[in-house]
Amino acid sequence: MRASRAWVVGGVVAMVAAAALVAGVAAGPVVDGVARSAVAVSSGGSATPPVTASTGAAQRPAPSPSPALDESQLLRIGNPALYADETSPTTAGAGPTGLAWRQVFRTLTRYESGSLELRPDLATSWSMVSGGRTWMFHLAPGRTFQDGTPVDASAICANIDAWAEQGDHLGWDWYLSGNDYLGCDAVEQTVTVRFEEGVANLPHLFSEVSFSIVAPDSIGTDDPVGSGPYRYAGVQDGTIRLTAVDPGAAGPDVIEMVETSTVSAAVSDLRAGRLDVVVGAAGDEMGGDTGVRRIVAAEDTMTTVNLLAGGQRLRDPKVRRALVAALDPTALSDLMGARPSLTLAPGVLGLGAYDHPGGGAAAARKLLKGSKVEPLVIGVGDTGEVDLEQARVVQRQFDRVGVSASISSAADPDEFYEKLRAGRYDVTVETFYADNLDPAEYVSGFDPRGAYRSLLPVADRSEVEEMSDRTFAAGDPRSRRAGATVMLEKLVDTSVMVPIAGAPRADWVAARVRSWPTGPFGIVDLAQVRLK
């Protein structure tokens, strides 16, 4: 598994949120029981040049299409951050490689394009019992994998069992490994998943690409079989090739995702017509290039709001539960009316023994009735306006429920983590930027026991356990999982670029890729791009 999660900052790059809805989406035909959408576009275009991709120093050929392929049905996507050798969806995040796997595999749940609304995918509905210790997912009948085998409850349980045993599963390792997995039961089209401790946001987690459902016989192989609109056709020379399950139905017949060494190499290939689209490059990396234009822009930053359960003033579980209720997504979104692009990611991580109470300020006040809460300290990991602004939002929300809180800004990361380890903070607010995350230097997320962990130099990896022990109270076996983290996302500046007029395939691209179907956390359904 890679040292940093692709979705942790863009991850959501984890958790890259999209900036625009798709224009003109119409329902398409059904493939393997899944409705495919299409963006209506006009026909026509220019001749297609040879397929090559720049490496920065020299050009290397991409896999050549078969002679019978109509190249007007070939879409070439370049990305300077693509890990083409990452051939398992279970270790892929929602970034560039996850984009490829989104086309091949389905998940139990998904997010509505352009929104943070959780929607059914392979599961038509779900329910929670016993405080999240048991979840039931109900499947739609009649769906099949690309090898013809049924997408039934037994297949889902085979995947979940494999995730629990894998050891390097991206999503399971980060969010569920500290919770004893008790098993998965398959009865007809109903999947029942059981844990020792409650999991508040399992349906949200199961929307991640690392929780992709593959045909049982292909679990753990180099040729995983999905139930999406595209088949994985292999990787060659840094290019992932996908072929449509139902050619000619909707979307391109063939998608080639090309790994480029640099942003400048990707832009060069885009201008020369060797690529049709480039994704993942920030606007400032374009260097003022006038040969391309952006059709989507989204910032790859994430802000976390952490309630530290082991703090002196947050040891009362009723108080913690009330503050989690105060951080209800809808309530915070209302407070952020002046910044509509600032949204709260669904799901509260690390809640452990109980589900998210929701309800905002009213529910929090009800839960706090009769409780006395000492003034809290909100620690800010950066003195920049982004962190301070979002810390003020949290402060105002706490004030609405009758809890006083002050904001303490650290001069630098060392001071911040020193105060954190010393127990000086009750709540922390931190913003992470994708370009600050070097996989060789940082770890991020939460330790396997569900305790708080943020960006720390690898040299301090041992301190993560120490921080966990000091931050989360001992004694009650569930108290160590009773903290909470809420993630905020802001949409600004990761680009999807296409060539402007004058490039060899500019007219072809303009006539077909008029918009880019996007959703939160980097989810893109390329079957919505119609090339006919």
pLDDT 10s digits, 241-275: 999 898 877 678 898 988 888 777 887 888 788 88
- What is the separation of C-alpha 23 from the centre of its chain, rounded to a whole number of angstroms? 23
Q: What is the average pLDDT across 125-147?
A: 90
The residue with greater pLDDT, 117 or 427, is 427
| Coil, strand or helix at 110 | strand
Q: What is the average pLDDT across 15-26?
A: 26
On average, the pLDDT of the chain sits at 64
pLDDT of residue 70: 62
Residue 120 has pLDDT above 80, yes or no: yes
pLDDT for 270-329, tens place per residue?
Answer: 878 888 888 765 544 554 555 666 555 444 445 566 676 555 677 777 787 788 777 755
The sign of the torsion formed by the CA atoms of 213, 24, 73, 507 equals negative
Residue 408 has pLDDT above 70, yes or no: yes
* DSSP class of 258: E
CA distance 195 to 179: 7
pLDDT of residue 4: 28
pLDDT of residue 71: 65
C-beta contacts of 50-54 below 8 A and 24+ residues apart: 50/274, 51/76, 51/256, 51/274, 52/269, 52/274, 53/78, 53/238, 53/239, 53/258, 53/259, 53/260, 53/265, 53/269, 53/274, 53/275, 54/260, 54/261, 54/265, 54/266, 54/268, 54/269, 54/274
Residue 2 has pLDDT above 60, yes or no: no
The sign of the torsion formed by the CA atoms of 213, 214, 216, 219 equals negative
Q: List every span in the chain annotated with CATH 3.10.105.10.
A: 301-490
- Residue positions counted in the chain: 532
pLDDT of residue 162: 93
Residue 399 has pLDDT above 80, yes or no: yes
The residue with greater pLDDT, 497 or 378, is 378
Residue 300 burial (CB < 10 Å; 0-12/13-18/19+)?
A: buried
Distances from the Cα of 349 to the Cα of 175, 354, 401, angstroms: 8, 11, 22
pLDDT of residue 217: 95
Half-sphere exposure at residue 205, Cβ-oriented, CA atoms within 13 angstroms? 19
**pLDDT grade for 448, boundaries at 50, 70 and 90:** very low
The residue with greater pLDDT, 451 or 91, is 91
CA distance 313 to 426: 7
Instruction: Tell me which architecture the domain covering 106-227 has in CATH.
Output: 3-Layer(aba) Sandwich (3.40)
pLDDT of residue 146: 95
pLDDT of residue 108: 96
Residue 90 has pLDDT above 70, yes or no: yes
The residue with greater pLDDT, 175 or 221, is 221
Q: What is the average pLDDT across 96-110?
A: 84
**pLDDT grade for 200, boundaries at 50, 70 and 90:** low
Structure tokens, 493: 């500046």
CA distance 413 to 380: 10
pLDDT of residue 504: 67
CA distance 257 to 79: 7
pLDDT of residue 238: 85
Q: What percentage of the chain reaches a pLDDT higher than 90?
A: 15
Pairing between β-strand 59-61 and β-strand 109-111 as defined by DSSP bridges: unpaired
- What is the separation of C-alpha 152 from the centre of its chain, rounded to a whole number of angstroms? 25
pLDDT of residue 497: 65
CATH T-level topology, domain 301-490: Dipeptide-binding Protein; domain 3 (3.10.105)
Task: Of 246-250, 385-389, 484-488, give the range with the top mean pLDDT.
Answer: 246-250
Q: Where are the alpha helices (DSSP H) in 327-384?
A: 329-335, 360-368
CA distance 492 to 85: 29
pLDDT of residue 177: 63
Q: What is the pTM of this model?
A: 0.57
Q: Are 177 and 74 in contact (CB under 8 A)?
A: no
Distances from the Cα of 136 to the Cα of 78, 153, 184, 491, angstroms: 39, 11, 10, 33
Q: Which residues pair with 37 in a beta bridge?
A: 27
